[in-house]
Structure 1
Amino acid sequence: MSGRDAILGNIRRGLGRGGPLDGAARAACEERLRAHRPVLIPARAQRPHDEQVALFVAMATEAAASVARVAGADDVPAAVAAFLDQGGYPRRAVIAPAQAVSGLDWAAAGIEVEARAARNGDRASVTPAFAGIAETGTLMLLSGPDSPTTLNFLPDAHVVVLDAARIVGPYEDAWAWLRRERGLPLPRTVNWISGPSRSADIEQKLQMGAHGPIQLHIVLVGD
């Protein structure tokens, strides 16, 4: 028996679940892990797609994110420029190297961009989202060479480009998409982001930008 099995066995015995898994019990556990069967799905996540999109916008807004809707990808740079202007940011941003973002015509919108990981002092970043979760207005972002995780946390303003077609109802559907579209190995990091960073740890007073961006702006593309 390995040290790992011994530790887990002690935990199971402490919970009254017997010793190390073996035989039929181990086979049943492994089959359950492979199947990825969803648990109870909230009723509010089980609705037609257009209603899921509306719920995502409502929940993201409730979480203090701002949302701009555009017809197509070509409209994204102008929407980002409007956000930067309104927030008093310079028309300059660090962007993810992903084609969904780096392939846009930023110069036409008067925005100076660099495709790289974020560094201290960057004011605004633009990244793509893998999916949006309607039940909580949450964004699912994946780490990788084309989407450095630093872009999600270092700049003051984080702009996320999300295709409305990639909004799902529950979290379980987003995980299913990831397994189906990416396979193994999964990304090293999956970030779930609901609104800008905040904390009420100090005197229970809400402080925005405590551990990350002060503002989260979502550019939602399509219907």
Structure 2
Amino acid sequence: MSSRPRDTILAGIRAALKRPTDPEDISTDAVDDRLRSRAAQVVPAIARGTRSELVNRFIANAETAGAAVTRTAPDGMADAVVAVLGESAVSGRVAVAADPRLDSVEASDRLTVERRGTPSGDDVIAVGHAMAGLAETGTLLMASGPDSPSSLNVLSDTHVIVVRTSDIVGGLEDGWDRLRQSCPDGMLPRTVHLITGPSRTGDIEQTIQIGAHGPRQLHVILLDDDADVGGI
């Protein structure tokens, strides 16, 4: 089948966007310049607001998606993790990300941590730290790396994610900006997980099934570390 009609359509689009009509004329430098000078897109009202409004919207949307949210002071993180696991009557092997911000969880004498870092299939509880929380949808942005293995997001039955109020942003575009800022050398992480509520699917007879591709329970520990937010 000839590709001439497709080429004609694509050439018309490139001309309308004032870009080279021949793909071979597009240099690597031009692509890099475009990525660095990306234009801001329209920001919906739900992704705008004061710091306090964004935090409250994140909590409301996360809970609507089926997550349980506990808000606490930064020095109460370990106690909050223990409390949510106890309240949920969850028991079993616990794996905690090797993120230094989670060291106090391992130090708690009320919780036995089986391993730090990559979990095994026998670890039924995983504890990780989000790079950002998106107020627009109540989503947690998890970037993979040595301190945050991707398997922590999918292997366990119960997932506990810590996020700080200072890391709550408006929408997805703000989350990507936060991710880029964390990678000054331009090397983005291999994997980025966007987690909104427990794992679920409606593919089977349009009936929601929880835990289809990952954790059945999602607990969010929100740490109040932002002076611009009212706190608990």
Both proteins in one fold, TM over 0.5: yes
Q: Does 1:50 align with 2:47?
A: no
Cα drift, residue 76 of structure 1? 1.2
Where does residue 4 of structure 1 map in the other structure? none
Where does residue 108 of structure 1 map in the other structure? 108
Cα drift, residue 29 of structure 1? 5.8
TM-score by length of 2: 0.84
Counterparts of 1:151 and 1:30 in 2: how far apart (Å)?
33
Alignment of 1:66-215 (within 5 A): 66-72=68-74, 74-90=75-91, 92-101=93-102, 103-113=103-113, 114-183=115-184, 184-215=186-217
Give the root-mean-square deviation of aligned CA atoms. Answer: 2.4
Counterparts of 1:10 and 1:31 in 2: how far apart (Å)?
30
Counterparts of 1:75 and 1:82 in 2: how far apart (Å)?
10
Q: 2:92, 2:123 within 8 Å by CA — same for their partners in 1?
A: no
Cα drift, residue 99 of structure 1? 0.3
Counterparts of 1:129 and 1:12 in 2: how far apart (Å)?
43
**Matched AA of 1:118:** P
Secondary structure at 1:159's aligned position in 2? strand
The verdict on how the C-alpha distance between 1:82 and 1:27 changes in structure 2, with shifts beyond 3 A counting, is closer
Instruction: Out of 50-59 and 23-32, give the one that drifted further.
Output: 23-32
Q: 1:135, 1:170 within 8 Å by CA — same for their partners in 2?
A: yes
Unaligned runs of 5+ in 1: 1-6
Where does residue 39 of structure 2 map in the other structure? 37
Q: 1:85, 1:91 within 8 Å by CA — same for their partners in 2?
A: no
Counterparts of 2:83 and 2:108 in 1: how far apart (Å)?
13
The verdict on how the C-alpha distance between 1:136 and 1:109 changes in structure 2, with shifts beyond 3 A counting, is farther
Q: 1:159, 1:217 within 8 Å by CA — same for their partners in 2?
A: yes
Counterparts of 1:84 and 1:209 in 2: how far apart (Å)?
17
Secondary structure at 1:17's aligned position in 2? helix
Where does residue 3 of structure 1 map in the other structure? none
Secondary structure at 1:172's aligned position in 2? helix
Q: 1:200, 1:206 within 8 Å by CA — same for their partners in 2?
A: yes
Q: 1:78, 1:109 within 8 Å by CA — same for their partners in 2?
A: no
Q: Please, which of 1, 13, 20 is the counterpart of residue 17 of structure 1? A: 13
Counterparts of 1:193 and 1:12 in 2: how far apart (Å)?
38
Counterparts of 2:27 and 2:5 in 1: how far apart (Å)?
16
Cα drift, residue 38 of structure 1? 2.1
Cα drift, residue 105 of structure 1? 4.7
Q: 2:132, 2:168 within 8 Å by CA — same for their partners in 1?
A: yes
The verdict on how the C-alpha distance between 1:171 and 1:107 changes in structure 2, with shifts beyond 3 A counting, is same
Cα drift, residue 116 of structure 1? 2.2
Cα drift, residue 71 of structure 1? 1.1
Runs of 4+ in structure 1 displaced over 4 angstroms? 9-12, 22-30
Unaligned runs of 5+ in 2: 15-20, 225-230
Instruction: Out of 136-145 and 20-29, give the one that drifted further.
Output: 20-29
Counterparts of 1:126 and 1:11 in 2: how far apart (Å)?
49
**Matched AA of 2:13:** R
Identity of aligned residues (%): 39
Counterparts of 1:27 and 1:149 in 2: how far apart (Å)?
32
